[in-house]
């Protein structure tokens, strides 16, 4: 069996998947031939398997450097569930636990060890690593090594010296979702990657609809957005803990089942909130950016940012948590110019307790400001939002307009209405400026009612001059002309429409008039992509979810670590009755088959018997 055949077998037997995703196979093949790897893949692409599969195929131990304790924790638990011997070494272990884990590691108990960067150069760990066979060093979230990156972490700078101390240089692979050129170059240089195999999978997520709403009243804008989402599940990201609490209250008061999540909450409460959300008990979670890393909930249908984040890296990572199941999903950013001021303030005060020298602090701060500027461009652009994101990450957009973002829809809905504007002004003049908006629109449309007959308005030459327009468009147009001072609205209880200071210009048609028609209309033109998906029996799925919840409780792990939603859905469609049928379900490997297969098959059988 070639190493690649072995890798494919591992994909199926251990992880239960039939096919590699784009990029995975190439990365694994390169690693197996002994090459270093520089992989840039977006959130949700499946980076973990790219190093976990080689780890199981190669002789020796794989070390994974990871920045986040929660991430390490989840990854290790997920691996254990699949029967992979793995452990983590970080500050949550007591000295005794640490020594114990290291003893196990020395005895070759673990194939994969997750380690915090700060541990690498400490005595005991270094001593272990120098005497063990290290096959591979993996740098997860590798952008943390770069001062250009959004999460610069000084501890990452000890990775390269650590590798140099090892008696035999292992293959080194770096993974990140941040693809800007500077960051990538920094990673390769600072980690001293040797002729790395470079992979960048496409950053586009075609099923995500991007939208920016620039509105004065955020709370109203948020409620309007959530009403459009109806019963769907999603995340509302807030900039501060205080905002999380306020928004959670606002949503609850408006009858939305939302839970709050931020780092300042007691552990137990936070765990509960996460579980309620992941297990679909609460459809909406309101959270700071502390929420999301390592969360594997595939049916997130929307991500709404209540405030603008500090850069596009953060934004795309957080927004990218929507639609990981491939279904259409919405990413909405509520923008207010105030966001720029708040972020600038945060950047200026972010280095106060930093250990960096002054010059480096200055550089880090300037780069943060540059990133904020790019984020602000995104929030205020009138062009294609997707094109803006992709070009920021160094990818040429396939087409200048994606037709699946609010920028593109607004552009499509913008019309040249110079001729119509002139006709409206002429009509207002003919009506002598003595009528309100409603009557004006009736005359334009050519609608006869009693009042119009009485006042002989149907005899005007302007009567019905825009009869082919939609009433909705005419209202928008008249409002725009009032805003542009082409028309004027008098004060009082019955405001009258009169010609404004710029009426003459419009009448002559010197200046082109363009108008964007508002959202209600645009929604209808939104590209809808119909996909054929086999129907899932919702009741059966609910039973499987309930069983998963019980097992997760018994095992003290989050439900998605037992099986993902995608796996349960596939199970509800395939309804396996035998061991080998169960192994055909996406995401069921041998270990999980042994552990849970029977219980799930029994639940399915029982359900079918009841329905007979």
Of 45, 163, 466, 478, the one binding ligand ADP by CB under 6 A: 45
Please, which of residues 282-321 interact with ligand ADP by CB under 6 A? 296
Of 6, 12, 21, 519, the one binding ligand ADP by CB under 6 A: 21
Of 27, 30, 40, 41, the one binding ligand ADP by CB under 6 A: 41
235 or 405: CB nearest Zn ion: 405
Please, which of residues 367-426 interact with Zn ion by CB under 5 A? 384, 386, 402, 405, 408
212 contacts: CB under 8 Å, gap ≥ 6: 332, 333, 335, 378, 379, 380, 385, 406, 407
291 contacts: CB under 8 Å, gap ≥ 6: 235, 237, 261, 262, 274, 285
Question: Least CB distance from residue 16 to ligand ADP, whole Å?
Answer: 9
CA triple 236-279-245, angle to 5 deg: 35
- H or E element, residue 330: strand 329-335
111 or 386: CB nearest Zn ion: 386
Of 406, 564, 565, 591, the one binding ligand ADP by CB under 6 A: 564
- Whether residue 487 contacts residue 425, with contact meaning beta carbons closer than 8 Å, is answered with yes
- Cα–Cα distance, 140 to 120 (Å, whole number): 14
- Cα–Cα distance, 311 to 364 (Å, whole number): 13
The torsion angles phi and psi of 205, rounded to 5 degrees, stand at -120, 90
Question: Least CB distance from residue 401 to Zn ion, whole Å?
Answer: 5
DSSP assignment, residue 90?
S
> Could you say whether residue 66 binds ligand ADP (CB under 6 A)?
no
Q: Of ligand ADP, Zn ion, none, which one sits near residue 458, judging by CB under 5 to 8 A according to partner kind?
A: none
Q: Of ligand ADP, Zn ion, none, which one sits near residue 402, judging by CB under 5 to 8 A according to partner kind?
A: Zn ion
19 or 398: CB nearest Zn ion: 398
Q: Of Zn ion, ligand ADP, none, which one sits near residue 296, judging by CB under 5 to 8 A according to partner kind?
A: ligand ADP
- Cα–Cα distance, 129 to 148 (Å, whole number): 30
> Could you say whether residue 44 binds ligand ADP (CB under 6 A)?
yes
Considering just the CA atoms, what is the radius of gyration of the chain in Å? Answer: 29
Question: Least CB distance from residue 490 to ligand ADP, whole Å?
Answer: 58
388 or 592: CB nearest ligand ADP: 592
Question: Least CB distance from residue 395 to Zn ion, whole Å?
Answer: 14
> Could you say whether residue 323 binds ligand ADP (CB under 6 A)?
no
- Cα–Cα distance, 172 to 103 (Å, whole number): 24
CA triple 81-85-88, angle to 5 deg: 95
180 or 406: CB nearest ligand ADP: 180
Question: Least CB distance from residue 41 to Zn ion, whole Å?
Answer: 22
The b-or-e profile of 251-285 (16+ CB within 10 A means b, else e) is beeeebebbbbbeebeeeebebbbbbbbbeebbbb
**Interface contacts to ligand ADP, rule CB under 6 A:** 17, 19-21, 24, 41, 43-49, 296, 564
**Interface contacts to Zn ion, rule CB under 5 A:** 384, 386, 402, 405, 408
């Amino acid at each position: 069996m070639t190493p690649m055949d072995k890798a494919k077998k591992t994909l199926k037997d251990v992880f239960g998947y039939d096919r590699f995703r784009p990029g995975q196979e190439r990365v694994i093949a390169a690693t197996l031939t002994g090459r270093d790897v520089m992989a840039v893949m977006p959130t949700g692409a499946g980076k973990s398997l790219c190093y976990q599969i080689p780890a199981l195929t190669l002789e020796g131990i794989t070390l994974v450097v990871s920045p986040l304790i929660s991430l390490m924790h989840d990854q290790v638990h997920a691996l254990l569930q699949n029967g992979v011997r793995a452990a983590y070494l970080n500050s949550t272990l007591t000295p005794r636990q640490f020594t114990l884990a290291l003893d196990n590691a020395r005895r070759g108990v673990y194939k994969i060890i997750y380690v915090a960067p700060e541990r690498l150069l400490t005595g005991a760990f270094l001593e272990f690593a120098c005497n063990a066979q290290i096959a591979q060093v993996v740098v997860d979230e590798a952008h943390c090594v770069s001062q250009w990156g959004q999460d610069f972490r000084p501890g990452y700078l000890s990775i390269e010296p650590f590798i140099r101390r090892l008696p035999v240089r292992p293959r080194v692979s770096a993974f990140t979702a941040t693809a800007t050129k500077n960051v990538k170059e920094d990673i390769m240089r600072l980690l001293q990657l040797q002729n790395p195999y470079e992979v960048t999978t496409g950053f586009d997520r075609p099923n995500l609809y991007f939208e920016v709403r620039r509105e004065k009243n955020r709370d109203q804008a948020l409620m309007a957005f959530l009403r459009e989402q109806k019963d769907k599940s999603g995340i509302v990201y807030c900039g501060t803990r205080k905002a999380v609490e306020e928004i959670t209250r606002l949503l609850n008061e408006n009858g939305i089942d939302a839970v709050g999540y931020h780092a300042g909450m007691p552990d137990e409460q936070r765990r509960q909130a996460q579980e309620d959300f992941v297990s679909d008990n609460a459809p909406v979670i309101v959270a700071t950016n502390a929420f999301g890393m390592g969360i594997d909930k595939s049916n997130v249908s929307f991500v709404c940012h209540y405030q603008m984040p500090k850069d596009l890296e953060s934004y795309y990572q957080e927004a990218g948590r929507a639609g990981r199941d491939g279904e259409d999903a919405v990413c909405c950013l509520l923008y207010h110019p105030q966001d720029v001021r708040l972020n600038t303030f945060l950047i200026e005060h972010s280095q106060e307790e930093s250990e960096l020298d002054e010059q480096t602090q200055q550089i880090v701060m300037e780069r943060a400001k540059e990133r904020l500027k790019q984020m602000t461009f995104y929030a205020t652009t009138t062009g294609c939002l997707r094109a803006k994101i992709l070009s920021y990450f160094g990818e040429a957009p396939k087409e200048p307009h994606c037709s699946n973002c609010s920028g593109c829809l607004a552009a499509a809905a913008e019309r040249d209405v110079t001729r119509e504007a002139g006709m409206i002004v002429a009509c207002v003049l003919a009506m002598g400026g003595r009528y309100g908006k409603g009557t004006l629109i009736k005359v334009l449309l050519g609608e006869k009612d009693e009042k119009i007959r009485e006042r002989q308005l149907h005899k005007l030459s302007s009567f019905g001059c825009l009869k082919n327009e939609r009433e909705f468009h005419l209202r928008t147009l008249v409002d725009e002309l009032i805003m542009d001072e082409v028309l004027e609205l008098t004060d009082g209880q019955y405001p009258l429409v009169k010609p404004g200071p710029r009426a003459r210009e419009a009448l002559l048609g010197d200046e082109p008039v363009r108008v964007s028609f508002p959202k209600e209309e645009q929604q209808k033109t939104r590209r809808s992509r119909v996909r054929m998906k086999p129907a899932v029996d919702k009741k059966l799925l609910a039973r499987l979810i309930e069983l998963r919840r019980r097992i997760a409780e018994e095992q003290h792990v989050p439900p998605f670590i037992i099986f993902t939603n995608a796996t349960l859905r596939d199970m509800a469609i395939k309804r396996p009755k035998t061991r080998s049928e169960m192994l055909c379900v996406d995401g069921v490997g041998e270990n999980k088959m042994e552990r849970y297969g029977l219980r799930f098959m029994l639940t399915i059988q029982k359900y079918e018997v009841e329905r007979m």
